[in-house]
């Protein structure tokens, strides 16, 4: 089946979706003999619940996952067993701390006020065309670097400087994607010879190492000068109480590099992807934009409904039920991480009746999950924020086995609240203060990657609104 898949790479997610719709939510993918590419592809919510929640211990990331995502080293996204458990507990302790949550909100609001607003004002005044996907990537990269290392890259500015970390991230994600659809011997040979996307991966790896090394050295110098009051994750890891956890070595540069890089890549790419697809969907559904504006005016106090983002707080943002539903709807249709890769450590039988052994590869296609009519109804392909709201106006809980954009079970995304705060803060400011229009004829399609970016970006024009209140 590999030749048929390779032909469909430009539309690979829709290709897989069509197969799953016709195969009762699960099908076997057969690769070339001896290539190790046979996979079970599924979007069956019962299977997802079994793999990610009920029988979680039997479905670690595994050695092959770590090999494919080798750029992340021994960070939290590659770790398994006791190491993962300790990394998870330490990260959860840091990210749920009230000081870090306040730091998150301050950072997001500051970047909106001092970065996003001036940039959009400039674009509107000069009547420029701007790539909104690029803008969001700069917004999330700046905020993520601040939260992770305390360093402000300053890439969200009118000058729109080139940031090598961003290019390296895109190249690494592309290489990781193709490692999923190439026989292992092929991509390993390309890596050895330095060819194609593997050459891009090698260069990206080098950039990540250098950038992280510079951040760690700078932070150590800061701490040596007596300033250890920073609230970022890097400082927290350097000051971690080692008696609580059996971590690799919190003082080791390699450990610190792997941890902060994992958070940098996750924070920059997933949230920016979600925002880009969200605003594209709003451009196609102006009624939804109108409802969000009405909700902002009705539920936020005047001091929080304009561009004065310093006044926004989580309690105010949580009043915006329709906005929350619209963001969830965008995440359902265009999940930032379009698929997951799992392997059982012991033979198992899935609820669908499919048998898997310890060498099996299982792919959960989250992009397809959101489009399954048998899961979401006949209107599965439509953008309908109302599906997340009850008749009483409250948010409807959807089980993570059906809506897994933030993962499910013990590996549920620790950064969910950070991401939702960032998205709501940016969305309120933009929707209330600007008209965003996609350039006519601009082609929108996802790029084959482990993160669901738009291949050609999101080219838009921006007009300032003066009747915001």
Annotated binding site for heme: 413
Q: Do the Cβ atoms of 377 and 384 come closer than 8 Å?
A: no
CA distances in angstroms from 365 to 13, 72, 291, 337, 373, listed in the order given? 8, 22, 31, 9, 15
| C-alpha atoms less than 13 angstroms from C-alpha of 230 in its C-beta half-sphere | 26
Residues 420, 406 contacting (CB under 8 angstroms): no
Q: Distance between CA atoms of 159 and 151, rounded to whole angstroms?
A: 19
> Residue positions in the annotated binding site?
413
Positive/negative CA dihedral, 239, 244, 247, 249: positive
CA distance 47 to 397: 20
Instruction: List, edge to edge, every strand of the sheet that includes 129-131.
Output: 129-131, 459-464, 434-438
Q: Quote the CA–CA distance of 304 and 317 in Å, as a whole number.
A: 9
Q: CA torsion, points 212, 218, 219, 224, in degrees to nearest 10?
A: 150
Integer Cα distance of 390 and 376 in angstroms: 16
């Amino acid at each position: 089946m590999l030749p048929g898949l390779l032909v469909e790479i430009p539309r690979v997610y829709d290709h897989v979706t069509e197969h799953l719709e016709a195969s009762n939510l699960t099908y076997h993918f057969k690769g070339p003999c001896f290539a190790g590419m046979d996979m079970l592809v599924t979007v069956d919510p019962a299977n997802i619940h079994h793999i990610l929640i009920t029988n979680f211990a039997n479905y670690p990331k595994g050695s092959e996952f770590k090999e494919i995502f080798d750029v992340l080293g021994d960070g939290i996204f590659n770790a398994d067993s006791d190491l993962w458990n300790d990394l998870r507990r330490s990260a959860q302790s840091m990210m749920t701390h009230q000081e870090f949550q306040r730091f998150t909100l301050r950072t997001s609001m500051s970047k909106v006020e001092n970065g996003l607003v001036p940039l959009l004002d400039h674009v509107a005044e000069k009547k420029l065309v701007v790539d909104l996907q690029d803008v969001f990537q700069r917004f999330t990269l700046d905020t993520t670097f601040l939260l992770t290392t305390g360093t402000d890259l300053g890439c969200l500015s009118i000058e729109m400087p080139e940031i090598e970390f961003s290019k390296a991230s895109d190249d690494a994600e592309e290489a990781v994607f193709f490692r999923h659809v190439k026989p292992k011997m092929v991509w390993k040979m390309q890596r050895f010879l330095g060819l194609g996307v593997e050459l891009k991966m090698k260069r990206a790896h080098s950039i990540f190492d250098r950038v992280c090394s510079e951040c760690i050295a700078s932070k150590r110098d800061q701490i040596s000068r007596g300033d250890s009051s920073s609230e970022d994750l890097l400082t927290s890891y350097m000051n971690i109480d080692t008696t609580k956890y059996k971590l690799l070595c919190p003082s080791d540069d390699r450990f610190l590099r792997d941890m902060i890089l994992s958070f940098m890549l996750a924070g920059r790419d997933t949230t920016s992807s979600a925002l880009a697809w969200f605003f594209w969907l709003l451009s196609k559904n102006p009624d939804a934009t109108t409802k969000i504006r009405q909700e902002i005016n009705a539920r936020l106090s005047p001091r929080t409904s304009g561009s004065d983002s310093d006044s926004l707080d989580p309690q105010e943002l949580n009043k915006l039920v329709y906005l929350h539903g619209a963001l969830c709807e965008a995440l359902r249709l265009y999940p930032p991480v379009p698929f997951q890769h799992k392997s059982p450590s012991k033979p198992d039988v899935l609820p669908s009746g499919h048998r898997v052994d310890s060498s099996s590869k299982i792919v959960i296609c989250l992009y397809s999950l959101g489009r399954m009519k048998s899961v979401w109804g006949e209107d599965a392909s439509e953008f309908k924020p109302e599906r997340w709201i009850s008749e009483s106006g409250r948010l409807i809980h959807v089980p993570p086995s059906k809506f897994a954009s933030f993962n499910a079970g013990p590996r549920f995304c620790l950064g969910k609240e950070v991401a939702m705060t960032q998205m709501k803060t940016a969305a309120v400011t933009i929707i209330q203060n600007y008209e965003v229009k996609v350039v006519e004829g601009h082609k929108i399609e996802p790029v084959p990657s482990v993160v669901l970016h738009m291949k050609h970006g999101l080219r838009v024009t921006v007009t300032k609104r003066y009747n915001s209140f």
